[in-house]
Amino acid sequence: MSELLTPDKIAALVDAAKQGQLPEAGASQKPTRRGHRLRTVDFSRPTKFTADQQRRISRALETFCQTANTRLSTELRVPVEFEVINTVQLTWAAAQQQLPPHSLSVLLDVSPIGTRMLLTAEQAFVLSGLESLLGGSPDRQPKERRLSEIDWSLTRRLFESLVHQLSMVWQELGGVTLTAGEIDPHDASQAASVSEPTFTVLLECRVAKQSFALALLIPWVAIEPIEDAISGRDPDHDAAVPTASPMQKAMSDVPVTLRAEVAAIDLEVSEILALVPGSIVKFGVPADDGVMLFAENVKLARAQPGSHGPRRAVQICGPEDHAR
């Protein structure tokens, strides 16, 4: 693509040509190679939900979008469209940090297993819905305001309409029903621990010309009792798996020191005394082999070093005899 030159740039090129300083053709287009750099591996993102479980939950939420479109469009008397725009697996604390500011949250009680999920929506979505319920026009962005008692009652009705449609798809997916619990305008961290693996489904709701963000946070503890149903497995299939023996149960609480070792090498005392900052000690082990994981002095597995937030961590690659 050619560039238009200003008179000043043309004059500068003429002066450079008179002095024999013309730039070489294509000099600015020489490809540059990026230097090698170390890649930091972060193991803080959980992988508790399997790919099949994530796919099944996403499909169920797509069905919810189709049914919610019809119900909300009828209740609000304006065109409403829901769409799944992204899914991500994070810790509970990290998932809450990804939510838009000023979001309203409603705890979803999962029956009959007694667990809880979290549904959030931008406050602007709620205000737009209230305007439509009261006969107003949602074409313009609603102004933020403090909700009155009547507003809270209508807000609960709006959330209950969404939860009813969610409950229908979860009944088919895992045999459970959802009911709307407490609506919290600030925080709902009591639903799960901060490190709990959480599958977050981000939704977009388009009301007339406005677009709003909603999210469904599903902590692992909320679906653990029904994970077989979500995965499509027969719960009786694992009934034949032998349980732990009394000896194994008794030994399971014994503390054992777990350590990760890069490599080991024998050095003479003079070589050790000669070490100074900046010295390099070669272990003679390929870096691709990672580190070795030990339980006390027993080799367990090969692992790859990385980090978990601000702390060091390793990820197990497999048993020692299968890691190479």
Domain count, the chain: 2
Instruction: Judge residue 227's burial from the number of C-beta atoms within 10 Å of its C-beta, 0-12 exposed, 13-18 middle, 19 or more buried.
Output: middle
- Whether residues 210 and 129 share a domain: the answer is yes
- 313 CB-contact burial (10 Å; exposed 0-12 / middle 13-18 / buried 19+): middle
Domain boundary among 174, 201, 233: 233
Q: Is residue 133 part of a domain?
A: yes
295 domain-assigned: yes
Is the domain of 169 the same as that of 275? no
CATH number at residue 101: 3.40.1550.10
Residues 156 and 279 in one domain: no
**Single residue among 201, 233, 265 that ends a domain in this structure:** 233
Residue 46 lies in a domain: no
Tell me the pTM: 0.61
The reply to whether 272 and 185 lie within a common domain is no
Per the domain annotation, does 289 fall within a domain?
A: yes
* HEC sequence for 96-144: HHCCCCCEEEEEEEEECCCEEEEEEEEHHHHHHHHHHHCCCCCCCCCCC
- Whether 84 and 209 map to the same domain: the answer is yes
**Cβ 155 vs Cβ 235: under 8 Å:** no
Question: What would the two tokens of residue 61 be?
Answer: 């939420």
What is the mean pLDDT of the segment spanning 73-77? Answer: 87
Residue 104 within a domain = yes
At 218, which helix (H) or strand (E)?
strand 210-219
**Domain shared by 294 and 229, yes or no:** no
For residue 117, is pLDDT > 80? yes
Q: Is there a single domain that holds both residue 189 and residue 221?
A: yes
Report yes or no on 44 lying in a domain: no
- Check whether residue 225 and residue 305 sit in a common domain: no
Residue 17 included in any domain: no
If you average pLDDT over residues 30-36, what whole number do you get? 50
Any bridge partners for residue 87, and if so which? 201
Whether 15 is covered by a domain: the verdict is no
Burial of 152 (0-12, 13-18, 19+ CB in 10 A): middle
Q: Return the higher-pLDDT residue of 50 and 323.
A: 50
Sign of CA dihedral 157, 160, 162, 165: negative
Q: Write the pLDDT tens digit of every residue in 127-139.
A: 888 888 877 776 6
> Do 166 and 109 meet the contact criterion of CB atoms below 8 Å apart?
no
Write down the pLDDT at residue 87.
Answer: 92
Residue at a domain's end among 233, 263, 284: 233
- The residue type of 172 is E
The verdict on 192 and 298 lying in the same domain is: no
Helix (H) or strand (E) holding 9: helix 7-18
Question: Residue 209 has what pLDDT?
Answer: 79
CATH code for position 309:
2.30.330.10
Domain that holds residue 291: 255-323
- Looking up tokens 């890649």 gives 39
pLDDT tens digits along 268-317: 999 889 999 988 888 888 877 788 888 888 888 888 888 776 778 888 87
> Do 181 and 307 reside in the same domain of the chain?
no
In terms of domains, do 77 and 222 share one? yes
Residues 122 and 74 in one domain: yes
